[in-house]
Structure 1
Amino acid sequence: MSSDNHPAKIRVMLVDDHLIVRMGLSFAINNQPDMQVVAQAEDGHEAIEVYRQHQPDVVILDLRMPKRNGIETIGVLRREFGAVRVLVLSNYGSGDEVSAALQAGASGFIGKDTALAELLDAIRKIRAGDQVVPSEVARRLASRITSHLSTRELEVLALIGRGLSNKEIGAALNVVESTVKVHVTNILSKLGVADRTQAVLAGVKRGIIQLE
């Protein structure tokens, strides 16, 4: 029960196979006036059962755990509880793992060496519905995605971001409109989006292009 004077605390669940990590996180989180740890699990299988019982606001989860890894656990939680909000907290920040975690449905990724204030801020942001990806992780993801787009496709995407039509892009790049259409199709496919607007949003979000 909450009121304007006493809003409900953010209910947090910890999933990590290291007890000392859970203890440290519990101490830090429970010392915050606006959040509390309501559940814990030490592996992926247990995490599903515990989530069903407590249905917390935010799950803080490690990627590498016994029985079921973090990415598989996120996938199961997303299938069963579509609105689940998961913050991946891990020492492992390779582009492939971060990308896989986000594609599985994680709301954010943060390293275990992150300052406590940033971690607590990330919990609040994810509870509010935001996505949290540290700038250095975003740059790694962007570089992986950028490497999949050709130089010409990057140019076309930037011009789409400026609001140019295919005909105008063709004139700017001195190519025929049909060639621009091929580039646009390839961009949509590589970025995994359905239309030009989504392509621009994806490009901005991943740091590939900047809107003027």
Structure 2
Amino acid sequence: MPSQEPHVLIIDDDEAVRDAISLWLSCNGYHCRCFEHAEDFIGQYSSDFQGCIIADIRMPGMNGLELQSHLNRLGCKLPLIFITGHGTVPMAVQAIRNGALDYLRKPVDEQQLLRLVEQAFTLDQARATQRQAQQAQIQQLASLTHRESQVAQLVVDGLSNKVIAADLGISERTVEVHRAKVMTKLAVKTLPELVKTYLSIKPLRTQ
């Protein structure tokens, strides 16, 4: 499956359910891929997958909640929609608490499922855009020299150019030059922007 092409990933041990959901969504313009068991999906899972997951909550072997926990440990951010014919309220609550987008009972209402898939794709695209923006910010931070990083951190800590110069053993003019380069590389124009941007980017670099 091309990593750049979003898919609806359908996981259900009931072939009739898989086929029905896949046919309905395909007729509405979605690319689908089906898996009989959660283990089959895990074996082929890639962090490049885009789109959403529709999974039965009760399956032989690894059930839906166990699949969800496993995907959470992998850092999977794909929106997850659970379907079930034998679910309970506690199971539904646990699924939602663990990050599921929604929980539908079989037989699934086709229009409701379609709306949820549309919502899931919108959410996944928004998350992808956010990840791309964060990666660009990380690259901006990585472009700073060691001295520029030192100056940036001290500026964010609230120190004046004079104090920074004394701490680093350089002239105030040199501090001003480094500070200007930092602001250019981080694409900010004011001190508040610099502080906000730097504090938002730095934690991302350690993740």
**Structure 1 length normalisation: TM-score?**
0.52
Partner of residue 86, structure 2: 92
Displacement of 1:10: 4.5
Q: Work out whether residues 6 and 49 of structure 2, in 8 Å CA contact, stay in contact via their aligned partners in 1.
A: no
Return the alpha-carbon distance in structure 2 between the equivalents of residues 81 and 127 of structure 1. 18
Aligned partner of 2:7 among 5, 11, 17? 11
Whether the 8 Å CA contact 1:13–1:56 is kept in 2: the answer is no
3-state DSSP class of the match of 1:59? strand
CA RMSD of aligned residues (A): 2.2
Name which one, 1 or 2, has greater alpha-carbon Rg.
2
Distance 1:42 1:110 in 2: 19
* Equivalent position of 1:65 in the other structure: 59
Task: Output aligned runs, 1:156-175, within 5 Å.
Answer: none
Q: Report the Cα distance in structure 2 between the residues aligned to 1:99 and 1:78, rounded to whole angstroms.
A: 16
CA 1:113 to 1:100, structure 2 compared with 1: closer, same or farther past 3 Å?
same
Contact 1:108/1:126 (<8 A) preserved: no
Q: What code does the residue aligned with 2:70 have? A: V
CA distance in 1, matches of 2:11, 2:50: 12
Shift of 1:54: 6.7
Cα distance in 2, alignment partners of residues 79 and 117 from structure 1: 32
2:17: which partner in 1? 21
CA contact (8 A) 1:75 1:105 kept: no
* SS state at 1:52 partner: coil
Identify, as 1 or 2, the structure richer in helix. Answer: 2
| Cα distance, 1:126 vs structure 2 | 1.9
Gaps of 5+ in 1: 1-7, 131-212
- When residues 123 and 25 of structure 1 are mapped into structure 2, their CA distance, relative to the original with a 3 A threshold, is same
- Structure 2: gaps (5+ residues): 125-207
- Alpha-carbon spacing, 1:17–1:68, altered in 2? closer, same or farther (3 Å): same
2:26 alignment partner, one of 27, 30, 48: 30
Q: What's the offset of the Cα at 1:53?
A: 7.9
What is the count of residue pairs matched by the alignment?
121
Residue 42 of structure 1: how far off its partner (Å): 1.2
The residue type paired with residue 69 of structure 1 is N
Identity across aligned pairs (percent)?
22
Q: Which has the higher contact order (CA 8 A, sep 6+)?
A: 2
- Pick one of 86, 94, 102 that aligns with 1:108: 102
3-state SS in 2 of match to 1:128: helix
**1:13-41 CA distances to partner (integer Å, 9 max, x unpaired)?**
010001111111111111112x110x221
**Structure 1 segments (4+ residues) deviating >3 Å:** none
**What TM-score, normalized by structure 2, do the two folds share?**
0.53
Q: Which amino acid is the alignment partner of residue 56 of structure 2?
A: D
Aligned-residue offset at 1:9: 6.9
